Amino acid sequence: MNDELIKKIIDDTYDNSKEDTLRSWLTDAYSKSSLWVIITIYTQYIILSALAVFSAVQFFSTDETQYQIMYAAIFVFSSHWIGFASVFGWVMLQRPRFIREIKRLELRIAELSEALNNK
């Protein structure tokens, strides 16, 4: 990749004015390319939250120990899975920010190599 191509890519996709605002972060994260991830995460939230509420209600309404253990295990599993999905969603939200930083570093490296070649 030559320096001019890197500068063109950075200029086309990177805007210093929207660098670290919440709005730019959310628009980058909720783009069309990551739509399937967002749908999957929110679907898991809905299903597992309903499962956790159902198992909590059933846990307190039953008197048999075997069923209480089963409902408690279902509740713990669904709660942990919601936590895992939250971490995965957070990583996917941070992805565009990392890509932007990598592009910024590529531009910086191109500038430094140009400065070294001119000496």
Quote the pLDDT of residue 57.
97
Quote the pLDDT of residue 6.
62
Residues of the chain with pLDDT under 70: 1-3, 5-20, 119
Quote the pLDDT of residue 7.
65
Distance CA 80, CA 74 (A): 10
Domains of the chain, residue spans: 27-93
pTM of the full predicted structure?
Answer: 0.63
